[in-house]
Amino acid sequence: MTADTDLKATVLVDHYRATAASDKSHVAYQGLPIHALPGLHEFAFEQFRRHAAPGAGVLELAAGSGAMSRRLADAGYRVTATDYVRENFRLHGAIPFFTCDLNQNFSDGRAASEDHICALEIIEHLENPRHFARQCFQVLKPGGTLLLSTPNLDTAASVAMFMRDLSFQWFAEDDYARDGHITPLSQWQLQKCFAEAGFTRAWEGSVGDPYGRVRGSPRMLWLARAIDLLMRRERGLRRQIYVALYQKPGNPG
């Protein structure tokens, strides 16, 4: 029997590599492709800047081409970036970068070293969200924040798709194989993961078309609208991508 230490994490990046190499992203910042829903980076950045003063240090996890890293640097933040796929990052020499598997102990040697962490559209690609939350907590200084986003399971469209297919929006077989979406997380699950790691939630919201992938099906759209009428979730949390800002307790040094 193979020892646990010999087992490799599930990391699906072939489509990510191919997409980055093709340079055909439909959205970009300063010429750098954005591998996320249009509008997400802008929405997340506006919330981040309300909680983080320019000049602070930011570690961007899963930085991709470097579009968000560049946006943060342009706003006056001191950015360090990391990604599993080094060749996708376009800002080598301009922004400090290191290669990292976020399934592993990425806090080693970096305890209490960062003012803030930016982790957009990555937690759904990881095996253990609680391990990720604990590692982020270790990396942050007291009072530091973590900006996080992930596909929103708590939408009427997502619930409708689960009723039909037994898989949530963005978490069907194709999303698993092509995009590496291996870990669906509801807002309730995320709150538990990060609260148990020691974080408090400072803010939450969502962005994108609330009916997303069901707009092409009149029957599914009707079902999603009916579900929407029954949902108790705040309307500001029912859009395609969920975004939250978590804070590590304590006063900044």
Structure tokens at 92: 């080598």
| Spans of all domains in the chain | 9-153+183-210+239-247
- Per residue of the chain (253 residues), what is the pLDDT tens digit? 445 556 788 899 888 887 777 666 679 999 999 999 999 999 999 999 999 999 999 999 999 999 999 999 999 999 999 999 999 999 999 999 999 999 999 999 999 999 999 999 999 999 999 999 999 999 999 999 999 999 999 999 999 999 999 999 999 999 999 999 999 999 999 999 999 999 999 999 999 999 989 999 999 999 999 999 999 989 999 999 999 999 999 987 6
Pairing of strands 97-99, 114-120: unpaired
Give 11-66 as a DSSP string. Answer: ---HHHHHHHHHT--S-EETTEE--S-TTHHHHHHHHHHHHS-TT-EEEEES-TTS
CATH class of 9-153+183-210+239-247: alpha beta
| Nearest alpha carbon to residue 152 among 181, 186, 193 | 186
